[in-house]
Structure 1
Amino acid sequence: MSGPKVVTVKTRAQLRAECLRRLRQVERAAELWLERVEALGEADESVRAAMAERITALRAMSDESGFGDGALSGERSAKYARQVAAMHRAADEELAFLREDLAERELRLVERAADAKTTRRRRREHRKQLLQALSAQTSDAATALAERVRAAGEGDGLDAMLGEGFAWLSRNADTATGTEAGLSDAQRELAEALKSGEAQQSFDQWRAAQTEAERDPRLHRLDRHVAELELLAGEAVAAPFLARIESLEREPDRVRRNLLLDSLLLDLGEACRADAQWRRQRAELELQIADAVAVLDPAVVAELRDAFEAAVAARNPARIAALQARIEAMITEEVEAHAARSCRQAVLEALAGLGYEVHEGMETAWAEDGRLALRKTATPGYGVELGGRAADGRMQMRAVTFDRQRDRGRDRDIETLWCTDYRQLEQHLHHTGGSVRIERALEVGEVPLKEIGAESASTPRDAVAPRERNR
């Protein structure tokens, strides 16, 4: 048994509201995920069906219709609590899955696009090398072949054209002039082998002749950053960097070109990081708006949506962050106010059923004053004091006396009786689908029974258990 105590109360109405909020968050996250997957060209009927199935299962977990609106027995109360906990776990898992799945899809597509860019870059390099080699030849056949190489597109047809050009060069070029023709030592050796029949002529061998030193790894990082911006941020964001790449490729000075490449890589890396942060902020804000729909007035939500669209249009991270903080504060304030009201009403209703004098307006008085004292009809001169506004469900409860001239020998008995009442209050909250947990408690008789003035107690009017008001 315990005397004065601090408890945390959570009502069924709170649990229901939390489940609905989580469900709306997941539903909105699923909508955004599907929109993005479709934009990436990754959605098909199986993807949509799997998503719909998971959302349906989550809705079923948040459906409490099978428990009815009345009291819950001990077993059904425990089952209800397990269902609520399972729903929250499932919601967390679904949100994590959506984030990870989208990130994996985006990464796969970015890598694919980067590889394609690297392939196109190397094709251009190979064409340039082949044209340099052909320009050293004086025959009409070499000139005609060079024209065909210049006219070739960027696709697989270019590979075939380059293969044909290299094969011709290996058969007809003078290896003695290989260096002047723009061939590396490895390429000249391969050309000699091809001429003597020691190897099969192929463009794959031409590409294999390129050393790792010639394949600057920075170029692939460059392609990857650009692919990421084009795919995830949009072509408008990537356009200035593409212009810088074109300028870089035209730079004749090797030293300056390397400096420009290093600078460009730094700027691209920072742009990718900034865009990733921007997309995270925007996604988080989207879910906050969904949360606001479940909590705030529709007119307020409409105003927040307008502010969101303006911040997104301006692509302003600072405005997004400020709006996030504003919405979070508004949601927290409203949720805490509703939770506190629900807790106060539930406790007063339970105490009214235990014989304490509860009257209309007491919940409001408790909220305004931060404490409330209730008389108990069966023990004149004694009652219970409720402290704290229950903003987070926390409140203090203790037996009190309104009579300074009492028989103090009864004080310990009164505290013991209050312990019995508290256990019944716990049972009432559990039977209605709520919960109560003791955070701190003193032993019976550890401190003197608190004395408060009789004017602070509830006055005997028509006892009406408070009801939760519509918000």
Structure 2
Amino acid sequence: MSGPKVVRIVTREEIEAICRREIAIAEAAAEALRQAHRRHGGLGAETERAIAESARRLADLFGAERHLDVQKQAPQMAAFFRSETERVEREAVAAAEAARSRRRRVADAARSVCAALEAAGRPVAEPLRGVTARALVAPEHELDDLQAVIDAGFRGLVAASRPGGGDIGTGTRAETRALAARLGAQETPDTLAAWLARQTPAPSPADARLDTALAAVEALGDAELAATYTARAATLDGVGGERRALLLDSLLLDASREAKRLRDARELRARLCEAAAGLDALGTQAALALAARIRQARPDALANEDMEHLLAEAATVAERETSAIAAAARRHAVLGALAALGYEVREGMATVWERDGRLLIRKPGTADYGVELGAPADASRMQVRLVGADRPSAPRTAGRDRDQEVSWCADFARLRDILSEDGGDIAIDRAVEAGAQPVKTVAFPNSANEGARDVETSPRLRTLR
């Protein structure tokens, strides 16, 4: 197939740029996991070693030029780090929900014991009365002390119900006597847990949903935000009937919205940090400027809508700059390979090709033939074909044209070898047999620019910036 060809070119520089960006994104996802561990209970040495080892593994693959392995494993590793971050946060929310449930149980227990003591005509100690309100806002380490106050109140209730346990009041109502009978009839004293299981109703579905929403706010938000919602929840204590239902519905709606906003914000921040890391890896002026702007904006202080706008801008810039890097690498690689084959490649031709979308390069050993390169701005596909001069130095015939096409076919095979040796590749999308159509005739420039420098003959261009 030595006639006109449409080809797709992948260069070493393009592959390396993709790998660097994927590694940077994976490292950003790893850092998000570290931060999640630090926020929710600390980052253990073993976890840190495992995360660091994963990053080193990617670096080793890249250093060994195992680019396909990097392109496969880096996204998988990033996805794993993201899932681990979500797991850590789910466990933190579950722990916060369990703590809230315990606070509710302590408050309910205190309320039940107070009511039973009052029904039995026994005095209620002030510390016990204070447990109901305190339990809903108390930190975890205080709950054991509050539970001890409840236990003491319950022991007083049990003692009062036993024969000789004290006066439970004259004119005792029937339900009070029944309570005393239940507490004192057993040879084995009743336990607080068993008694509460009979006395305290199960939380309503709305209360359970509120615990879940408030736990998410507590685990994902800051301390001030969590304290605000906890204080609102505490105001429900002692309120009953329709008013409590209205207050509960309002708080549940607000807390659920806030929990969703916090979850969305966490995901957006993680994506934005990954986007900034990917832009840094691209290294172009526009990419670096946007990455710096993202970090200066402090994603943790941005509204979700602002982060979404930055993410959209980052995606646009990343796509544009990646395309520009790849296009420049493809043009430089092809021109470098042609220069290595002896074609008359001059300084500035890459710029002309990018600007005009077309470039003519003279074939070595003859002034009447050359190679025409055509490509769109991103150089995603290229058309390469032999062309002949409109004013040849010797008459052009079909046989002569065909001989030159066959010669170009050999050069094209060598060009593929050069790119392959450098870690790139050419895939042929379409090709025409030699002689199947006439060689295109074009106007050749009079001569190469005098004083123009030859380009480097090696197709390997380590730095594109």
TM-score, normalised by the number of residues in structure 1: 0.83
- 1:249 counterpart SS class: coil
Query: Conserved in 2, the CA contact under 8 Å of 1:229 and 1:235?
Result: no
More divergent stretch after superposition (356-365 vs 309-318): 309-318
Question: What are the ranges of 5 or more consecutive residues in structure 1 without an aligned counterpart?
Answer: 65-79
Q: 1:414 Cα deviation (Å)?
A: 3.5
Q: 1:22 Cα deviation (Å)?
A: 2.6
The 2-side partners of 1:204 and 1:292 are apart by: 58
More divergent stretch after superposition (238-247 vs 344-353): 238-247
Q: Is residue 6 from structure 1 mapped to residue 6 from structure 2 by the alignment?
A: yes
The 1-side partners of 2:205 and 2:329 are apart by: 62
Q: Is residue 107 from structure 1 mapped to residue 90 from structure 2 by the alignment?
A: yes
Q: State the AA in 1 paired with 2:419.
A: L
Query: Conserved in 2, the CA contact under 8 Å of 1:170 and 1:194?
Result: yes
Question: What are the ranges of 5 or more consecutive residues in structure 2 without an aligned counterpart?
Answer: 136-142, 162-167
Deviations 1:100-132 (A, max 9, x none): 111111111211111111111121112112111
Query: Percent sequence identity over matched residues?
Result: 34
* Counterpart residue number, 1:273: 260
Residue among 203, 216, 220 paired with 1:228: 216
Deviations 1:395-454 (A, max 9, x none): 221222223762124444433333332221111101011122223334444543322112
Residue among 395, 403, 416 paired with 2:406: 416
- 1:454 counterpart SS class: coil
Q: How does 1:338-357 map to 2 (within 5 A)?
A: 338-357=325-344
Q: How well do the aligned residues superpose, as a CA RMSD in angstroms? A: 3.2
The 1-side partners of 2:110 and 2:173 are apart by: 16
Q: How does 1:35-434 map to 2 (within 5 A)?
A: 35-64=35-64, 80=65, 83-138=66-121, 142-143=122-123, 146-147=125-126, 149-150=128-129, 154=135, 155-170=143-158, 172-173=160-161, 192-197=181-186, 200-210=189-199, 214-252=202-240, 254-296=241-283, 301=288, 304-310=291-297, 312=299, 314-389=301-376, 391-403=378-390, 406-434=396-424
Inter-CA distance 34–392: structure 2 relative to 1 (3 Å threshold)? farther
The 1-side partners of 2:174 and 2:277 are apart by: 67
The 2-side partners of 1:163 and 1:321 are apart by: 52
The 1-side partners of 2:427 and 2:401 are apart by: 25
Instruction: Tell me how many residue pairs correspond in the alignment.
Output: 442
More divergent stretch after superposition (343-352 vs 452-461): 452-461
Query: Conserved in 2, the CA contact under 8 Å of 1:388 and 1:395?
Result: yes
The 2-side partners of 1:338 and 1:457 are apart by: 31
- 2:236 counterpart SS class: helix
Query: Conserved in 1, the CA contact under 8 Å of 2:36 and 2:89?
Result: no
Query: Conserved in 1, the CA contact under 8 Å of 2:26 and 2:77?
Result: yes
More divergent stretch after superposition (282-291 vs 2-11): 2-11
Query: Conserved in 2, the CA contact under 8 Å of 1:373 and 1:456?
Result: no
The 1-side partners of 2:403 and 2:341 are apart by: 17
Q: State the AA in 2 paired with 1:209.
A: R
Inter-CA distance 450–32: structure 2 relative to 1 (3 Å threshold)? same
Query: Conserved in 2, the CA contact under 8 Å of 1:345 and 1:466?
Result: no
* Counterpart residue number, 1:27: 27
The 2-side partners of 1:457 and 1:382 are apart by: 13
The 2-side partners of 1:115 and 1:348 are apart by: 66
Query: Conserved in 1, the CA contact under 8 Å of 2:11 and 2:333?
Result: yes
Query: Conserved in 2, the CA contact under 8 Å of 1:340 and 1:389?
Result: no
Inter-CA distance 204–12: structure 2 relative to 1 (3 Å threshold)? same
- 1:398 counterpart SS class: strand
